[in-house]
C-alpha cells in the first residue's frame, strides 16, 4: 500500500520507525497520507504542501499527534491518534488504515483547499457577471425610456375598481349627496358624520357628480396616477 509519511525534521526518528513497521503491512490499492502533527510540522511548508496535495487528490489522511499542537486547518475535523510522550499505539494505526482502505470505506470529506476556493470564486464570478450586466442594461433601458410602465394595464385595473365601487357603494352614498344649495353648504358636516371608510368615496363621488362623470357609463379616466416611467 502506498503510504506517505509527512513530518518535520524534528520528528524524523519516529517517522523512520513508522515507515519500517508500515512496510510490513500488506499491500492495498488506496493511497494514504500519515501526518505527524507537531508545532514543527505546522510550521514546515513542505509538510503543509503534502497535506494540501493529499486533500485535493481526495486521499485519506491520518493525523498522528506527536506533540501538543492542533492539526492543520484542512484536517482539523479528523480525529488524531495520540503518539505523544513516547506512546506508540501502532495497532490503532493499523486498524485505522484497514478501515480507510477497505472496499466499503467512505470517501474523504471535501475540504476547502486552495484549489476548491479558486474554483468556487471562478464560479461565483461566472454567475455574477451576467447578472450584473442584465441589471445595468435594465437600469439603462428604464432611464432612457426603453422600458415603460404598462399604462393601459393601470387604466384597465382602475376602471374595474371604479366600476366595482360604483356598483357596491354607490347606492349607499347616493342619498348623502347634496341635491341643492343647502345640501352643498352642509356637505362638509355630512362627510364628517359618514362612516370613516365611506368618507373618501363620498367626497370623490360628489366631485365626480359636479364634474358630470358619475355614474360611470363608459371607461373612466383613472382616479390614480401610475408611477412615472
pLDDT digits (tens, 9 = 90+) for 50-63: 999 998 888 999 99
The model's confidence at residue 69, banded by pLDDT at 50, 70 and 90, is very high
Q: Is residue 45 pLDDT above 60, yes or no?
A: yes
The more confidently predicted of residues 129 and 208 is 129
* Cell numbers standing for residue 210: 359636479
Q: Taking residues 184-197, report their average pLDDT.
A: 74
Q: Is residue 219 pLDDT above 50, yes or no?
A: no
Question: In whole numbers, what is the pLDDT of the chain averaged over residues?
Answer: 78
Q: What is the pLDDT of residue 215?
A: 56
Q: Is residue 27 pLDDT above 90, yes or no?
A: no
Q: What is the pLDDT of residue 58?
A: 87
Q: What is the pLDDT of residue 208?
A: 65
Least confident span in 24-38, 39-53, 55-69, 175-189: 175-189
Q: What is the pLDDT of residue 34?
A: 96
Q: What is the pLDDT of residue 148?
A: 60
Q: Taking residues 26-33, report their average pLDDT.
A: 76
Q: What is the pLDDT of residue 218?
A: 42
Q: Taking residues 100-119, report their average pLDDT.
A: 75
Q: What is the pLDDT of residue 168?
A: 67
Q: Taking residues 1-22, report their average pLDDT.
A: 92
* Cell numbers standing for residue 62: 491520518
Q: Is residue 216 pLDDT above 50, yes or no?
A: no
Q: What is the pLDDT of residue 220?
A: 44
| pLDDT tens digits, 132-158 | 777 777 777 666 655 566 667 767 777
Amino acid at each position: 500500500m502506498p503510504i506517505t509519511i509527512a513530518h518535520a525534521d524534528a520528528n524524523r526518528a519516529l517517522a523512520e520507525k513508522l515507515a519500517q513497521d508500515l512496510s510490513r503491512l500488506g499491500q492495498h490499492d488506496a493511497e494514504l497520507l500519515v501526518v505527524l502533527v507537531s508545532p514543527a510540522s505546522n510550521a514546515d511548508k513542505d509538510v503543509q504542501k503534502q497535506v494540501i496535495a493529499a486533500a485535493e487528490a481526495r486521499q485519506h489522511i491520518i493525523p498522528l499527534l506527536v506533540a501538543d499542537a492542533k492539526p492543520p486547518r484542512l484536517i482539523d475535523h479528523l480525529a488524531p491518534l495520540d503518539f505523544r510522550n513516547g506512546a506508540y499505539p501502532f495497532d490503532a494505526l493499523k486498524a485505522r488504515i484497514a478501515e480507510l482502505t477497505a472496499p466499503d470505506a467512505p470517501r474523504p470529506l471535501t475540504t476547502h483547499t486552495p484549489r476548491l476556493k479558486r474554483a468556487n470564486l471562478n464560479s461565483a464570478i461566472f454567475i455574477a457577471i451576467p447578472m450584473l450586466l442584465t441589471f445595468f442594461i435594465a437600469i439603462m433601458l428604464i432611464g432612457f425610456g426603453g422600458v415603460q410602465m404598462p399604462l393601459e394595464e393601470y387604466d384597465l385595473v382602475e376602471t374595474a375598481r371604479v366600476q366595482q365601487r360604483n356598483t357596491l357603494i354607490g347606492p349607499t352614498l347616493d342619498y348623502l349627496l347634496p341635491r341643492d344649495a343647502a345640501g352643498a353648504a352642509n356637505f362638509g358636516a355630512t362627510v364628517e358624520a359618514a362612516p370613516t371608510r365611506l368618507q373618501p368615496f363620498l367626497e370623490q363621488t360628489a366631485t365626480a357628480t359636479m364634474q358630470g362623470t358619475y355614474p360611470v357609463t363608459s371607461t373612466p379616466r383613472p382616479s390614480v396616477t401610475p408611477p412615472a416611467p
